[in-house]
């Protein structure tokens, strides 16, 4: 509905991030929030673009940091 040149996916479920990155490639920045029961269930080779301990940690990120990941 709102097309963009670049997207960010923020989630605490690694598999969702892996699947989304496989579809969108460099147009997507994946942000893994290491909380909850999924924090330890990481798929083999899982490498998020950004990783934080809590959602609130993203307040310290600037927009250009999301583009610098690819």
Q: What is the pLDDT along the chain (70 residues), one digit of tens a residue?
A: 889 999 999 999 999 999 999 999 999 999 999 988 887 888 888 899 999 999 899 999 998 888 876 5
Q: Domain residue spans in the chain?
A: 7-65
Q: Which run of H or of E encompasses 21?
A: helix 14-24
Q: Which run of H or of E encompasses 8?
A: strand 7-11
Superfamily of domain 7-65: HAD superfamily/HAD-like (3.40.50.1000)
């Amino acid at each position: 509905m709102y097309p963009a040149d670049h997207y960010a996916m923020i989630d605490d479920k690694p598999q969702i991030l892996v699947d989304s990155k496989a579809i969108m490639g460099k147009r997507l920045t994946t942000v893994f929030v290491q909380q909850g029961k999924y924090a330890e269930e990481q798929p083999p080779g899982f490498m998020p673009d950004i990783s934080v301990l809590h959602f609130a940690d993203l307040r310290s990120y600037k927009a250009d940091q999301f583009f610098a990941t690819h």
